Chain A
């Protein structure tokens, strides 16, 4: 297999092409702009559609239009831009449309900064727009995993007719690593619901999220949540690293998980029984993996590039049966392995 040394953002873009993405609508924002630059170059040559929209709001609505006709569509942005897209994401979810949205997170709130951050966890998993709905949320931790999760995100989005997000960060977007790509996908799931012209061969299709009868709206939301239960049962993913005998379970996702893994290795060298749970899907959250670890572990240490957002889901997953401590840096500061190692030492031997 051919291996390429590639920047994370460019790998995300190439992975989308391999996944059969036909169009990309975006708006410039650091630190994800390489995705637009890469796709503008490739799509113009290869017959895909690249369009720089007038705003993030327009870009996500162009995705809604393209996805309505049954083609694989994508947009990407970074934190402040994702906030602008939230209106469209809610409509996409309410219209049962598949698409992929990339968030290469940067520091916030407001304009924040342009350095890596994980402060959009709550937004991605709890509230990406108004109304009752979820997105599939993947949290890759390497350039290769960015490629792998883009492929999965497009497939699952089509399967369940819902939006999927790749929740990356500025570190993953900007770093270079060797990566291999899958073959270009050529055959896709049929989309008989698509609004692409009925050609006189079927009833007209309507893509819509409006239901003025409360009971009809309630039923449509409930049907969506039944599909969510199916996804929860089948597609939650996590990497378990040295967790079987661990007293202290460090948990982190994305770039922070790489730092946390180094800290776990440092602890093991000192004879401290530390392990790592790294969620690969943030929604659905890998609840079973945490529950299993909670049977034997004495304490959980959640580490994030935020003031503590995923920690809520960790506590819920184990029903607060063990202490869950937190260590985080925010605003674009990346924690060092030594900082997390110090925290592990602090909690070694049980709760403080």
Chain B
């Protein structure tokens, strides 16, 4: 019988711990498909964050390193600088990347570190039970914004791709989503481009993936996908915010 669909080779054959309806599994798969297609599993080192994907080191078959909360871009820098011909990616959530790890993120980008950052934005701290994240939308109810996020008290969300696109060291800053099949295909293309940028030594590439958290949002998986579409995308528009060679001499500065 012809095989028409199978698990990517670089994806471990284990049961994941993610909640029903969570889109981490899709995003893991997209990364693995790109690694398989480029044939780089043996040359890839992944860095996991603290958060829901803390145990991702068990889900990827390439070498993996577990970082402290927010420090994945610094760990990736240490790996990449000592192994410039290997592929290095971090996989980070919104609290990890845009709160506790803001300095590491911004400086890895501005240095033009040749790494790939997969940034999963679900507007909440999932692993700790749904507290306010730096990307929590105004009005959004979380465990620590029980009356909805009030910008007068808790400030405004950070639009990470827009911010990092201002930095010369950023090669790619693209926001994608995984709530529909065409968008999943688009997300995979962006991830592929990020890895190709690394191969071509173009600089820092970040793919922000809008994701869902049905458990902490208190929604069914289907309603969660709808919220992503109706509430998240208007605040976090999809698209390419920067696409350049960070080290090309053309971009004057």
Q: Among B47, B79, B104, B106, which residue has the most Cβ atoms of chain A within 10 A?
A: B79
CB of B82 within 8 A of CB of A200, answer no
The distance from the CB of A48 to the nearest CB of chain B, in whole angstroms, is: 10
Contact A206:B42 (CB < 8 A) given known A62-B75, A87-B68:
no
CA separation between A87 and B80, bound complex, in Å? 21
Q: In the assembled complex, which residues on chain A have CB atoms less than 8 Å from the CB atom of B64?
A: 195, 204-208
| Cβ A64 vs Cβ B75 within 8 A | yes
Q: Are B61 and A64 in contact (CB under 8 A)?
A: no
Do the beta carbons of B63 and A195 come within 8 Å of each other? yes
The distance in angstroms between the C-alpha atoms of A133 and B43, with both chains bound, is 32
Interface size on B, residues (CB 8 A): 35
Closest to A196 in B: B83
Q: Which residues of chain A come closer than 8 Å to B106, judged between CB atoms? A: 54
A321 in contact (CB, < 8 A): no
The answer, yes or no, to whether B215 is at the interface (CB within 8 Å) is no
- Give how many A-B residue pairs fall within 8 Å (CB-CB): 130
A210 engages B79 (CB within 8 Å): no
Query: For B55, what are the chain A residues with a Cβ–Cβ distance below 8 Å?
Result: 210
Q: A65, B65: Cβ atoms under 8 Å?
A: yes
Is B22's beta carbon under 8 Å from chain A?
Answer: no
Contact B66 A209 (CB under 8 A): yes
In the complex with contacts A61-B74, A64-B67, A88-B68, A198-B42 CB distance below 8 A: yes
- Chain A interface (Cβ < 8 Å from any Cβ of B): 22-23, 25, 49, 51, 53-55, 57-59, 61-69, 71, 73, 87-88, 91, 95, 195-201, 204-210
List 11 A–B pairs whose Cβ atoms lie within 8 Å, in order of A's numbering. A22-B82, A64-B75, A65-B78, A65-B82, A68-B79, A196-B45, A197-B83, A198-B62, A201-B42, A204-B64, A210-B54
Query: Which 6 residue pairs spanning A and B have beta carbons closest together?
Result: A65-B78, A61-B74, A62-B78, A195-B63, A54-B107, A65-B75
Q: Give B contacts to A, CB under 8 Å.
A: 41-45, 47, 54-55, 57-58, 60-68, 71, 74-83, 86, 103-104, 106-107
